[in-house]
């Protein structure tokens, strides 16, 4: 089996890194990008096969589209003459549903995914939905491949915009939060690299507690806040600065943009 990635930007190259790391020989992955230096650099790093034309990438059994939603029209025009019925095309584009993709590419067998860049280290949580024309074997192949990048969740398409906000986009919020914590430590006199390491470790541990302790997050907050202690001062300050409201508004803004992508 051969798979290809058309467009090797931030998201597609993160998936390539995740899949390549799980295979001794990554040459079954064909990478194609408009800027060839990007393809060559990723091929040198991961061992994938570098393609110089879209026709080469179009030969694969599973084609992943890694371009931006606005660039799909251009790619569709280039790919249409080469697509065969038995090929599976996988789109990671925000805001583009299966019907729109099928119409754009004149192709029936489509999988839609919403990954995140933590795929590069095997920790994406990725949703997927398939069109009726996708066979059980094709779905299994694609899901198995992508499991190298993290966990896979079958999701009804109408939930994709919400998922896109809390899983596809939210890593950016989490990175921002860790940087903000570390920067606050810098202001108090700690060096940034060690502060960032500490902040990231605390976030990782907190995520494990939420996932594994069977305890509601608010109860965990209460466990950290000793009566009359230090943490409650910080929690009250976050609330006074509308922390939760800012998070809710941010998630809503992502969903609105996803639902109105042209």
Ligand X SMILES: O=C(O)[C@@H]1CCC=N1
Longest dimension (CA), the chain: 70
Strand partners, 150: 124
Give me the 121-160 binding string for ligand X, x by CB under 6 A, dash otherwise.
----------------------------------------
| 29/195 with CB nearer ligand NAI | 29
Query: Which value, in Å, is the radius of gyration of the alpha carbons in the chain?
Result: 21
Q: What would the DSSP string read from start to end of 75-98?
A: HHHHHGGG--TT-EEEE--TT--H
For ligand X, the binding residue among 126, 164, 178, 195 (CB under 6 A) is 164
Q: Site size for ligand X, by CB under 6 A?
A: 4
Site residues for ligand NAI per CB under 6 A: 6-12, 33-35, 38, 66-69, 71, 74-75, 92-94, 114-117, 168
Which one of the spans 134-142, 163-171, 235-243, 244-252 is the region binding ligand X (CB under 6 A)? 163-171
Give the shortest CB-41-to-ligand NAI separation in angstroms: 11
Regarding 118 and contact with ligand X (CB under 6 A), the answer is: no
Strand partners, 63: 4, 89
Closest-approach residue to ligand NAI (CB) = 9
| 28/261 with CB nearer ligand NAI | 261
Decide if 111 contacts 89 (C-beta within 8 A): yes
Give the shortest CB-62-to-ligand NAI separation in angstroms: 16
Token pair belonging to 86: 């038995």
Token pair belonging to 214: 């069977």
The position carrying tokens 């209460």 is 222
CA gap 182, 192 in Å, rounded: 6
Interacting residues toward ligand X by CB under 6 A: 94, 164, 168-169
């Amino acid at each position: 089996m051969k798979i290809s990635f058309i467009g090797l930007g931030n998201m597609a190259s993160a998936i390539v890194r995740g899949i390549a790391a799980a295979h001794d020989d990554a040459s079954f992955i064909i990478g194609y990008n408009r800027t060839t230096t990007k393809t060559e650099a990723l091929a040198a790093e991961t061992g994938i096969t570098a393609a110089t034309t879209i026709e080469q990438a179009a030969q694969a059994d599973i084609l992943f589209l890694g371009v931006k939603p606005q660039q799909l029209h251009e790619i569709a025009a280039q790919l249409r003459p080469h697509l065969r019925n038995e090929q599976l095309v996988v789109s990671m584009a925000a805001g583009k549903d299966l019907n729109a993709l099928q119409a754009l590419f004149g192709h029936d067998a489509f999988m839609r995914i919403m990954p995140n860049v933590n795929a590069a280290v095997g920790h994406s949580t990725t949703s997927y939905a398939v069109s009726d024309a996708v066979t059980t074997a094709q779905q299994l192949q694609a899901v198995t491949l992508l499991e190298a990048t993290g966990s896979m969740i079958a999701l009804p398409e109408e939930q994709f915009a919400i998922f896109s906000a809390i899983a596809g986009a939210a890593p950016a919020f989490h990175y921002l939060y860790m940087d903000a914590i570390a920067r606050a430590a810098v202001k108090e006199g700690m060096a940034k690299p060690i502060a960032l390491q500490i902040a990231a470790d605390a976030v990782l541990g907190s995520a494990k507690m939420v996932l594994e302790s069977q305890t509601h997050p608010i109860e965990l907050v209460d466990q950290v806040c000793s009566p009359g202690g230090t943490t409650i001062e910080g929690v009250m300050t976050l609330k006074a600065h509308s922390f939760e409201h800012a998070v809710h508004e941010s998630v809503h803004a992502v969903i609105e943009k996803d639902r109105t992508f042209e």
